[in-house]
Structure 1
């Protein structure tokens, strides 16, 4: 079989190039998603460590505050409590995102709507 020696592009080459570009884009997208997940995991680990540190410090300050009614200790306790609340809020937000709730939400809408339709059908049959 003679080889195609003309300078005309082979249609299979352009399809291969498109496929390769799509694969490269998918790999880049996956790499970006993995990097984002790794960053979030590192943030959660830092927040958990900070949460433990804050709780330990609060546990140290409370007995001191009960012994010595110091304004400085009260202020430190208030600041520690506020920071602890912020860290806990950040940790809770990592658990509940729209992405994690999207699937159950649409399942509820789908099957809830199906339940309403079945209910109407049963009512019309029995009524």
Structure 2
């Protein structure tokens, strides 16, 4: 499939942690977003943090990756799969316009166990319904 790849369930009894970073070059600000799901696709955790003093889109993605690893370690999860989008890093580094992250626009952070923020709930439901068994 060309374009956006859909989320897929992790194999076995592992936890899949997806992460992404968004970057605002004018403010030297970024946000990291993390979603952790079990092998059945159930959301175990979602969080978003805003970071100041970030100097590049690559740094924003690296911070998001670090946050994903930290979440997995802090929860003591043993079998982890981390998934980011390295192509996004390349595109963000070459991009001239602003990242349109919902978290950066709203300026809010969150940390939710067993859920996602309201504005992401529709996508989470869609992922659950369209994921083949």
TM-score normalised according to structure 2 size:
0.19
Q: Which protein has the bigger strand share? A: 2
Structure number with bigger Rg: 1
Which protein has greater RCO, CA pairs closer than 8 Å, 6+ apart?
2
TM-score normalised according to structure 1 size:
0.20
Q: Which protein has the bigger helix share? A: 1
